[in-house]
Chain A
Amino acid sequence: MIAVPRDDLLRLSASALADALSVGEVSSVEITQAYLDRIVAVDGAVHAFLHVDTAGALAQAAEVDRRRAVGAAVHALAGVPIAVKDIVATRGMPTTAGSRLLEGWVPPYDATVAARLRTAGLPMLGKTNMDEFAMGSSTEHSAYGPTHNPWDLERIPGGSGGGSAAAVAAFEAPFAIGTDTGGSIRQPGAVTGTVGVKPTYGGVSRYGLVALASSLDQAGPVARTVLDAALLHELIGGHDPLDSTSIAGSPPPVVEAARRADVRGMRIGVVRELGGEGYQPGVRARFDEAVALLVGAGADVVEVSCPHFDYAFAAYYLILPSEASSNLARFDAMRYGLRVWPEHDQAASAEEVMLATREAGFGDEAKRRIILGTYALSSGYYDAYYGSAQKVRTLIARDFARAYEQADVLVSPTAPTTAFRLGDKLDDPIAMYLNDIATIPANLAGVPGLSVPSGLADEDSLPAGFQVLAPAERDDRLYRVGAALEAMLHEQWGGPLLDRAPALEGMSAC
């Protein structure tokens, strides 16, 4: 007997699903099957998933149902299915990071994030599409083809975590795991009308994530509501002895903050450098309205200046390629991943095999960034490029510190524009990189950031995002502001923004 109609199951928040599961209104198998059916129905058109684990997800769901049936204590989210970005190592499930180099690789171990999901009993629906090794802002750099934005299938879903964001926006998963190195959770959130959070650096374990830039990478939640993001954040966050950069001590009270949803007396700083010229008028209009709502709810607004944020982009595109060129050196064709022999040379040396493998295995964007990083780190140029970029990083951290003396949180549009058309910026690297202009400073300074939908831009009726940034380890503030704004906007709209997205029914044949 199903107490909740199936279509409603897909529309319910993860939090509501958890409640329904806990009182026995619905089983995890029913929920998981509903999502798997939805994936079959729409993912041909959306292409959010690189791998769907039908049998594994249903087995995990059945196990949770069995545990609940015998009255065993289970996690509050037990039985709520989830999608996982394909950069997270998952034991027994392929993990490609969107690259040919790792095609078919099945990790023999779980990332800590994956292990926590399993232990808590969240059925893993599958692995989501992404730009190769998380390098990109559109998922067009995936070796397995792009993901399409559920709002307009001709447009990009953002990146690198476009698969996770699109899966959640298209109701193919209640929530998902993403990773954010320069905006890869927040920018896809903005352009798909979903919620995305980059926790404080070190707030969520990096153990078992395919590394892009180790001083910037951070895993976090992708969701349809701020509370769902908080529930997932709480589950995956906290200290992990397997990650030496993991923050010790108790994680911030994010769920409590999301439930509180109260901004009275909070000082909200509008960052002058993250707005204005270069930002789409419709994106700016929704941002200004959101700020006005927060003022109406009792927040104080101040304008703050972070003059070095205009240098963040340049610093990021030196630091990221430098770290990436070093991290990706591990793909040497020896112990795992692709091995390609040079043509007609079965006696080739290890070095020659490495040259041929990396030529065949990496896509254009990975090659661009590896070569750029190799250049920035080469002797003679190191001080001018990598060294200068590290100094800019200090200046950006100082700007944040000064801004947080005047404000409890900082706010800006998440991305300068709404979703652009697939193909538009594919071969103009700098045009692509500029999508992350507002999200990059947080990664350089290690502070947490959240994107919550602010509405549809007037020009194109596509979603825009509102970004909230907080001091390190004060992730709870993101959720207070995000949840307060979300509640006011839902009231204004008469429901969630995603209610206005196309239904995508019967699109599997596309």
Chain B
Amino acid sequence: MSHPEHDVHHLELLEQLRSRCLAPLDSAVVSDPIPGITRNDVAHLARLARIDLTDAELDHLAPQLAVIVESVTKVSEVADADVPPTSHPLPLINVFRADEVTPSLTADQALSGAPAVEQQRFSVPRILGEEQ
């Protein structure tokens, strides 16, 4: 069942929200203008994040990420130098506990989800490359 009129209405609402809460695209609100995020940038970032993206994914994700990155530059409109940053919603205090032995996972429990186990240890691929 389709309601075409309603869909058009949804799109209008969406545009209104976009214009209220996101930076207009192609704006240069960041004082040090950041050149749009490119396909090569995304490939580099994916490598840093250890995700082996395919060419098709790069084609698909790069333009989407460029739009998102440009939209969120809106934060720089109000982020003045004299505003202190907040990393955490409530004040954090250091928390101590008594230095007592408490029951913890057995070795078998700790290894129960491991992709591979050998001699009661996590078995992992080689760490060093051929030339190292």
Q: In the complex, which residues of chain A have a beta carbon less than 8 angstroms from the beta carbon of B54?
A: 359
Residues of chain B in range 62-106 having any CB-CB distance to chain A below 8 Å = 64-65, 67-69, 71-80, 83-90, 92, 95, 97, 105
Partner of A375, one of B30, B45, B74: B45
Q: How far is the CA of A417 from the CA of B16 in the complex (A)?
A: 12
Given contacts A201-B90, A308-B78, contact A371 B49 (CB under 8 A): yes
Q: How far is the CA of A420 from the CA of B10 in the complex (A)?
A: 9
The residue in chain A whose Cβ has the minimal distance to the Cβ of B72 is A314
The residue in chain B whose Cβ has the minimal distance to the Cβ of A337 is B113
Given contacts A245-B90, A308-B78, A371-B46, contact A355 B52 (CB under 8 A): yes
Q: In the complex, which residues of chain B have a beta carbon less than 8 angstroms from the beta carbon of A493?
A: none
Q: How far is the CA of A444 from the CA of B46 in the complex (A)?
A: 27
Q: How far is the CA of A247 from the CA of B72 in the complex (A)?
A: 32
Given contacts A280-B13, A371-B65, contact A394 B115 (CB under 8 A): no
Q: Are B85 and A108 in contact (CB under 8 A)?
A: no
Partner of A384, one of B32, B92, B128: B32
Partner of B114, one of A317, A335, A429, A460: A335
Q: Does A304 contact B (CB under 8 A)?
A: no
Partner of A430, one of B50, B71, B105: B71
Q: How many chain B residues touch the partner (CB < 8 A)?
A: 75
Q: In the complex, which residues of chain A have a beta carbon less than 8 angstroms from the beta carbon of B125?
A: 341, 348-350, 352-353
Q: In the complex, which residues of chain A have a beta carbon less than 8 angstroms from the beta carbon of B52?
A: 342, 355-356, 358-359
Given contacts A308-B78, A314-B22, A390-B85, contact A358 B50 (CB under 8 A): yes
Q: In the complex, which residues of chain A have a beta carbon less than 8 angstroms from the beta carbon of B92?
A: 245
Q: How far is the CA of A337 from the CA of B20 in the complex (A)?
A: 41
Q: In the complex, which residues of chain B have a beta carbon less than 8 angstroms from the beta carbon of A347?
A: 126
Q: Does A362 contact B (CB under 8 A)?
A: yes
Q: Are A278 and B16 in contact (CB under 8 A)?
A: yes
- Identify the interface centre among B23, B41, B78: most chain A CB within 10 Å of its CB: B78
Residues of chain A in range 129-172 having any CB-CB distance to chain B below 8 Å = 154
Q: Are A390 and B86 in contact (CB under 8 A)?
A: yes
B49 → chain A, closest Cβ, in Å? 5
> Could you mark each residue 442-456 of chain A with 1 if its beta carbon is under 8 Å from any beta carbon of chain B, else 0?
011111000000000
Q: In the complex, which residues of chain A have a beta carbon less than 8 angstroms from the beta carbon of B80?
A: 391
Q: Are A314 and B87 in contact (CB under 8 A)?
A: no
Q: How far is the CA of A424 from the CA of B68 in the complex (A)?
A: 18
B11 → chain A, closest Cβ, in Å? 9
Q: Does B28 contact A (CB under 8 A)?
A: no
Q: Does A124 contact B (CB under 8 A)?
A: no
Q: In the complex, which residues of chain A have a beta carbon less than 8 angstroms from the beta carbon of B21?
A: 310-314, 434, 437
B9 → chain A, closest Cβ, in Å? 7
Partner of B75, one of A314, A397, A460: A314
Q: Are B65 and A106 in contact (CB under 8 A)?
A: no
Q: Are A350 and B127 in contact (CB under 8 A)?
A: yes
Given contacts A308-B78, A314-B71, contact A355 B50 (CB under 8 A): yes
> Could you mark each residue 179-204 of chain A with 1 if its beta carbon is under 8 Å from any beta carbon of chain B, else 0?
00000000000000000000011100
- Identify the interface centre among B6, B16, B21: most chain A CB within 10 Å of its CB: B21
Q: How far is the CA of A164 from the CA of B129 in the complex (A)?
A: 45
Q: Are B20 and A278 in contact (CB under 8 A)?
A: yes
Given contacts A358-B51, A375-B37, A375-B41, contact A430 B68 (CB under 8 A): yes
Partner of B85, one of A277, A334, A336, A391: A391
Q: Are B3 and A371 in contact (CB under 8 A)?
A: no
Q: How far is the CA of A247 from the CA of B97 in the complex (A)?
A: 15
Given contacts A201-B90, A334-B122, A460-B6, contact A389 B75 (CB under 8 A): yes
Q: Are A430 and B78 in contact (CB under 8 A)?
A: no
Q: Are B86 and A388 in contact (CB under 8 A)?
A: no
> Could you mark each residue 7-48 of chain B with 1 if its beta carbon is under 8 Å from any beta carbon of chain A, else 0?
101100110111011110000001010100100011001111
Q: Does A354 contact B (CB under 8 A)?
A: yes
Q: How far is the CA of A109 from the CA of B30 in the complex (A)?
A: 46
- Identify the interface centre among B42, B79, B112: most chain A CB within 10 Å of its CB: B79
Q: In the complex, which residues of chain A have a beta carbon less than 8 angstroms from the beta carbon of B23?
A: 314
A373 → chain B, closest Cβ, in Å? 8
Q: How far is the CA of A329 from the CA of B41 in the complex (A)?
A: 19
The residue in chain B whose Cβ has the minimal distance to the Cβ of A321 is B68
Q: Are B109 and A374 in contact (CB under 8 A)?
A: no
> Could you mark each residue 361-382 of chain A with 1 if its beta carbon is under 8 Å from any beta carbon of chain B, else 0?
0101001101110110010010
Given contacts A314-B22, A394-B86, contact A277 B68 (CB under 8 A): no
Q: Are B16 and A372 in contact (CB under 8 A)?
A: no
State the 5 A-B residue pairs at the shortest beta-carbon distance, nearest first: A446-B89, A336-B113, A390-B85, A339-B115, A388-B79
- Listed A/B pairs (29) with beta-carbon separation below 8 Å: A107-B113, A200-B90, A202-B90, A247-B90, A278-B14, A314-B23, A317-B71, A329-B49, A329-B50, A349-B127, A350-B126, A354-B50, A367-B53, A371-B45, A371-B46, A371-B51, A375-B41, A378-B48, A381-B34, A384-B34, A385-B72, A385-B75, A388-B75, A391-B86, A395-B83, A397-B86, A417-B10, A420-B10, A429-B67
